[in-house]
Amino acid sequence: MKTKGFFLAGLTALVLAGCAKEQTGGVDNNATKSYLTVELAVADPLSKTKTASDNRLDGTVAESSVSQAVVYLVQSGSVKAILSVNTLNQVAHSGYDDGYETAVMEASVGEGTYDVYVLTGSSSDPCGFSVDGAWDPAKVLEFAAASLNGVDNASNTAAVDNAFRMFNQHDASDHGKAVPTVTLTSANNTTANPAKSETVYLDRLTAKVVASASASFKVGDSIKSGDFASATATVDGTMPVTAATSMYMQQQWLDADMLQLTTPAPQTYYGFVNNLFTGAVSPYSQIETDSDGYVSVAVNDLSGKIIAAESPMYVLENAPVAPDTLWSNTTGLIFKVTLDAKGDGSNQTFFGYNKNSEHFLTLASLQAEYPNAFDVFDNKNADDTDDDAANLADAESLLASDVATFRAKTKINVFENGQMYYTHFIKDENYKVYGVYRNTWYQLSVEEIANFGDDIPGGWNPDDPTENPNPDTPVEEDKLYIKVKILVNKWVASPSTIILGQ
């Protein structure tokens, strides 16, 4: 489902000529040299499914600019030419924003009609296609999470300013269903009379996710009571959860109506939340256990892993087929929120008890409510009764020296400097499934934190280590703790309101 704005920002006319085949094998040196132009434009302005909002947001210049591309001419399922485009000049086109065109180039192919496919982001073929070899639009592209603010590697970038990877739109819209073609005739044998292809409508391969607090952002009533009556909060940013590192070059659908997308599986993901997730590239928390229970419950160093509020995060298309939408394969976010418990700017550390259901500003106030809370330190008076004062002193000493061990020993949630974490899996409201789709802008506006979050990214269960989030946890059964309004625009519109924590 596509709309006009978040695709390429204007019509791009690529005037191609010059034998730009990258492989020598299969090239017919006696073939007629033909000249052609290929036009690239924004995707279909009409979505195949009505959205609840007509709001649209344009992509930035850096997200929309094209400076290099590879054009594949395909006939009868065989690649007939691989053409490189290295230089484009900005030109005006009626009815579109500014676009681009290249100098005339030639293609050493015979007369006939060819399907036209375009992959932007570089002028060399990253897919290993060969002239006269089979064409496979379901080629799997591999990417590496070089940084959490973009998905790229040295040879095959997906979300780099002015060089976003884009490919032919392929969905149920009128433009997405048709494969653009170009017909070469004997008249197209000079640069003065190039053949003109049908317009190629492009999708960016990535989704764009931007999270921020709404203008009406508030702390929910379930938090603002007792010692927390004056609490305020700030949405600091997000971290990706289960972001994909590979995708099909062209969208692949399981049904004729192009409503159920499929993406490569199994694959490696990045942004897992604790050590129960194998293959984690950037775990945000670390839970250690042994036969007796918890050994350590820690927040890892998050330096360089937090995407600041209002800053874009680019992730690859990822849509697991329901009902197999699990923590291990569904793309989401962890929100980092700072709760200023007193509302005085101190960002005081506070504590959760009884499965994080009750909260206290100090260990002393927690012990006053639950005298046996620190009996695990096993200090005794002369009469063999519990020495609560000594137990409290030991608890405060361990907290100061080793928070991770303190959590494990006491089974108390520790919200260091007021930092809380909320896990949220992204649901695409256009397709009504959990998942992220290419060329879609997911604008997440946090309207409310309705309840206390987790003290470590991904959460933990103080009473039962076996119940911590793991790869088999279904996303729909996960507890949700913040209220999020989603707008997806141009990049594609998909508004929804989600209440988390109720």
Confidence of residue 265 (pLDDT cuts 50, 70, 90): confident
Of 155-164, 189-198, 448-457, the range with the highest mean pLDDT is 448-457
Least confident stretch, 41-50, 231-240, 368-377, 468-477: 41-50
Structural contact between residues 75 and 34, judged by C-beta atoms closer than 8 angstroms: no
pTM above 0.95, yes or no: no
pLDDT tens for 415-460 read 999 999 999 999 887 888 899 999 888 888 899 999 999 999 999 9
Higher pLDDT pick, 385 / 39: 385
Beta-bridge mates of residue 195: 36
Average the pLDDT over 336-340 and give the result: 96
C-alpha closest to that of 340 among 332, 350, 330, 352: 350
Higher pLDDT pick, 388 / 479: 388
pLDDT of residue 90: 61
Where in the chain do CATH 2.60.40.3690 domains reside? 208-498
Beta-bridge mates of residue 12: 40
pLDDT of residue 5: 38
Taking 90 as the threshold, does the pLDDT of residue 233 lie above it? yes
Structural contact between residues 341 and 227, judged by C-beta atoms closer than 8 angstroms: yes
368 to each of 244, 361, 449, how far by Cα in Å? Answer: 47, 12, 28
pLDDT of residue 192: 84
Taking 90 as the threshold, does the pLDDT of residue 408 lie above it? yes
Structural contact between residues 93 and 10, judged by C-beta atoms closer than 8 angstroms: yes
Taking 60 as the threshold, does the pLDDT of residue 203 lie above it? yes
pLDDT of residue 113: 94
Q: What is the CATH number of domain 12-204?
A: 2.60.40
Taking 60 as the threshold, does the pLDDT of residue 369 lie above it? yes
Least confident stretch, 99-113, 144-158, 277-291, 294-308: 144-158
Confidence of residue 43 (pLDDT cuts 50, 70, 90): very low
| CATH T-level fold of 208-498 | Immunoglobulin-like (2.60.40)
Higher pLDDT pick, 133 / 162: 133
pLDDT of residue 103: 58
Residue 490, C-beta contacts closer than 8 angstroms, at least 6 positions apart: 3, 4, 5, 6, 7, 56, 57, 58, 59, 441
pLDDT of residue 57: 56
Structural contact between residues 466 and 309, judged by C-beta atoms closer than 8 angstroms: no
Taking 80 as the threshold, does the pLDDT of residue 280 lie above it? no
202 to each of 57, 69, 249, 275, 387, how far by Cα in Å? Answer: 17, 12, 12, 39, 71
Taking 70 as the threshold, does the pLDDT of residue 258 lie above it? yes
Average the pLDDT over 254-271 and give the result: 88
Taking 90 as the threshold, does the pLDDT of residue 245 lie above it? no
Structural contact between residues 418 and 338, judged by C-beta atoms closer than 8 angstroms: yes
pLDDT tens for 55-73 read 455 677 788 777 888 989 9
Count the Cβ atoms, other than its own, within 10 Å of residue 298.
18
Average the pLDDT over 225-238 and give the result: 96
Taking 90 as the threshold, does the pLDDT of residue 257 lie above it? yes
pLDDT of residue 267: 79
pLDDT of residue 387: 97
Confidence of residue 204 (pLDDT cuts 50, 70, 90): confident
C-alpha closest to that of 240 among 262, 275, 278, 211: 211
Confidence of residue 140 (pLDDT cuts 50, 70, 90): very high
Of 178-187, 347-356, 444-453, 484-493, the range with the highest mean pLDDT is 347-356
pLDDT of residue 500: 40
C-alpha closest to that of 346 among 216, 227, 220: 227
Element (H, E) at 17: none
DSSP 227-274: GGTT-EEEEEEEEEESEESEEESS-EESSTTS-SEE---S--EE---S
Taking 50 as the threshold, does the pLDDT of residue 12 lie above it? no
Beta-bridge mates of residue 333: 240, 424
Confidence of residue 477 (pLDDT cuts 50, 70, 90): low
Higher pLDDT pick, 112 / 160: 112
Q: What is the mean pLDDT of the chain?
A: 80
The conformational region for residue 226 under phi > 0 = left, psi -120 to 50 = alpha, else beta, is left
366 to each of 374, 419, 464, how far by Cα in Å? Answer: 10, 19, 21
**d(C-alpha 104, C-alpha 118), whole Å:** 17
Of 44-58, 91-105, 287-301, the range with the highest mean pLDDT is 287-301
**d(C-alpha 349, C-alpha 352), whole Å:** 11
Q: What percent of the chain has pLDDT over 70?
A: 76
